[in-house]
Amino acid sequence: MQRLIEGHKRFLADIFPAHRSQFQLLAETQAPEWLFITCSDSRVLPDLFLGTGPGDLFITRNAGNVVPVISNDVDGVTATIEYAVEVLRVKEAILCGHSDCGAIKAFFHPNTLDGMPKASRWLHHIDESFKYRQPLNPAEGESAELASLIRGNVVAQLLNLKAQPSVARAMDAGRLTVHGWYYEILSGHIERYDEEMGRFLPLVD
């Protein structure tokens, strides 16, 4: 806890004063351009690897960067998506998976979910990932099989995202674009899913 307190002290002394006017504007309203859906994993820091700051990204996070399929249930993810699209009118939505994802690892080691019924039920949302597994990349060595399924999960959740009523309406109206990304923690690089080619390509050449 002391580390967090010291960090907050540095924020108050060094960071907040330089951005005071920006924070005053954000205190009254927000107008993010991007909805960013990603995993809860502590190693995934969108503002760090995208160079964004306060007010830029509207972020929702959960285990496995899941977008639940359409149902009558109420959940925080789809509620957040609906709010971002209908109220905040974001222009782009990004579904971002990442390497070494623990949620996907659970498929290979299901015993890790013993005693966690809620986590087990939640991760059934990524069952469809197997349909969209990507080709193995020999360069990824022992991680290749896991990485192919993680990328497949990005595709599966991207389809779920596009099927959300609010997203479908916004896309039909031409005011929203959606993207599927894969973030490689070890290298820092991002891949984007090209729907026409049906494969992942580097975001930056």
Cα dihedral value 169, 172, 176, 179, nearest 10: 100
43 is catalytic: yes
∠ Cα 115 120 124 (to 5°): 165
Residue 101 a catalytic site member: yes
Q: Which of 39, 96, 125, 151 is catalytic?
A: 39
Active site residue 41: yes
Residue 98 annotated among the catalytic residues of the structure: yes
Catalytic residue among 96, 98, 151, 179: 98
Q: Are 170 and 151 in contact (CB under 8 A)?
A: no
Q: Which residues does 12 contact at the CB level (< 8 Å), separation at least 6?
A: none
Tell me if 44 sits within 8 A of 18, measured CB to CB: no
Which residue is catalytic, options 10, 19, 43, 199?
43
DSSP state of 138: G
**Helix (H), strand (E) at residue 84:** helix 76-86
| Position 193, amino acid | Y
The set of catalytic residues is: 39, 41, 43, 98, 101
